[in-house]
Amino acid sequence: MKVIEHLENSKNPFISFEIIPPLRGGNINELFELVEDLVKLHPPFIDVTSHSAEVQYEETSDGGIKKKVKRKRPGTIGLSVAIKNKYNVDTVPHILCRGFTKEETEDALIELNYLGIENVLAVQGDDKGYKKPTPIGKSTNEYAVELVEQINRMNTGHYLEEDLLDATPTDFCIGVAGYPEKHYESPNMKADMEILKAKIKNGAHYAVTQMFYKNDYYFDYINHCKKEGISIPIIPGLKILTSKKHLTSLPRDFFIDIPEELYGEVMAADDKHVMEIGVNWASKQVENLLNNKVPSVHFYILQNSKPVNMLFKKLNL
C-alpha cells in the first residue's frame, strides 16, 4: 500500500520508522532483529535510508596518499524488498540525487517497480558524501525537485530513452523532505516554501519533516504551508535524543536547534539518565502533536529500537 493511502485510510494517527542499512560487510541478521522489534509496534511503513559513495584518503606505507571511493552502506533496495516480503510491512527506500546519475536512478526505480515497491522518498542527499563525477553522455539530478520530476515522468511512462515505444508507467508514491527550521541552503522560509511547492508541482504526494525538538517549529511550518496553499500531508519527524553527543552532533549534521531547556537538563544529568530524559521529552512532543491532530509521527530510529520501545510504554501505545 502507498503511504498516501495509509494516511487516507487510517482512522487514527500512526507511527512509522526509519532505519539505516548495515555497514558494508555487516550482519543483516542484526538489522532483522531490529526490524522484528519495530514490527511489534505495528508501523504501517518503514523507511530505509540510502547512501552515496564517499571519498576516503589513506596514507600508504611510502608516505603517499591513496584515495578510495566506496559506499559504506549499500543494500537499500535489497533490504527494502526483504523487509516487505519477510514482515509484510510497506517500505520506503530513499532515492538520492548526490552520488548517482539519472541513468542509475532510473535503473534503481525499474528494479523497485519490478519488485513491487510502491513508495520512494526523493531527497538531495548528504553533501558530505562523495559527489560522483558524471560519465560522458550521462547526467545527474542536482536537486530533489529534479529527482521528483524524473520519478513522476516514469509514473507517466516517460523514460530517459525517449524513443521507447509503449513504455510501461511506474506507479510510485513520492515522498519528499520538509524543513521546519528551513533547509540550510535556503536564504529564508519563503524561498524554502517555493522549493516545496515546486516539488509538489513535479509530483510529490507527501512530505516528512526534518527532526525537530520544539513543536512550535512544526506548527509554524504548517501555517507557512497553509498560507502558500500547500495541502499535501506533512508528517512530523522526530528523533529521541539518547546521548550528550547528540547536543552537538545533531545541530552540526542536521542544522537544527536544541531548546535551552532540553540542553540544560541533559548537560546536568549523568550519562546513564540521558536516554530517559530524551524519551520524556519525545513523549511530550508526541502527546502535543497527537492532540493537535497530526496525520502521523515518523521516528528516526537508525539502529536502536530501545528508546522508541521505552517511549511506547510511557505513552501506553
Per residue in 136-176, pLDDT (tens digit) is 556 889 999 999 999 999 999 999 987 777 889 999 999 99
CATH classification of the domain holding 23: 3.20.20.220
Tell me which residue of 199, 190, 183 sits closest to 232, measured CA to CA: 199
The whole-angstrom separation of Cα 308 and Cα 317 is 11
Count of structural domains within the chain: 1
> Domain span at residue 44?
3-315
Given a contact cutoff of 8 angstroms between Cβ atoms, the answer to whether 22 and 305 are in contact is no
Place of cell 542484526: 30
How far is Cα 228 from Cα 197, in angstroms, rounded to an integer? 8
pLDDT at 246 exceeding the cut of 80: yes
Averaged pLDDT for residues 279-286: 97
Mean pLDDT of the 231-256 span: 95
Instruction: Take residue 88 and report the three cell numbers written for it.
Output: 509484510
Report how far residue 94's alpha carbon sits from residue 176's, in angstroms, rounded to the nearest whole number: 10
pLDDT reading at 57 higher than 90: no
Percent of the chain with pLDDT strictly greater than 70? 89
> E-assigned strands of the chain?
14-19, 45-48, 54-59, 65-70, 90-96, 119-123, 173-178, 206-209, 234-235, 237-238, 296-302
Let me know: does 132 contact 52? Beta carbons within 8 Å.
yes
DSSP 8-state code for residue 272 = G
CB 245 within 8 A of CB 218: no
Contact at 8 Å (CB) between 30 and 313?
Answer: no
Least confidently predicted of 27-31, 66-70, 154-158, 270-274: 66-70
Taken in order 216, 220, 221, 226, the sign of the CA dihedral is: positive
Q: Where are the alpha helices (DSSP H) in 40-143?
A: 76-87, 102-114
Residues 6+ positions from 144 with CB-CB distance below 8 Å: 97, 122, 123, 124, 176, 177, 199
Distance, in Å, from the CA atom of 95 to the CA atom of 76, rounded to the nearest integer, reads: 9
The reported pLDDT for the residue numbered 75 is: 82
What three-state secondary structure class fits 79? helix
Separation between Cα atoms, residue 199 and residue 176, nearest integer Å: 8
Percent pLDDT > 90 in the chain is: 77
Residue 178 contacts by C-beta under 8 Å, 6 or more apart in sequence?
A: 196, 207, 208, 209, 210, 221, 234
Written as nine digits, the cell of 150 is 524524473
Q: Copy the grid coordinates of residue 66.
A: 591513496
pLDDT of residue 64: 42
Backbone φ/ψ region at 271: left (φ over 0), alpha (ψ -120 to 50), beta: alpha
> Which stretch of 49-53, 98-102, 144-148 has the lowest confidence by average pLDDT?
49-53
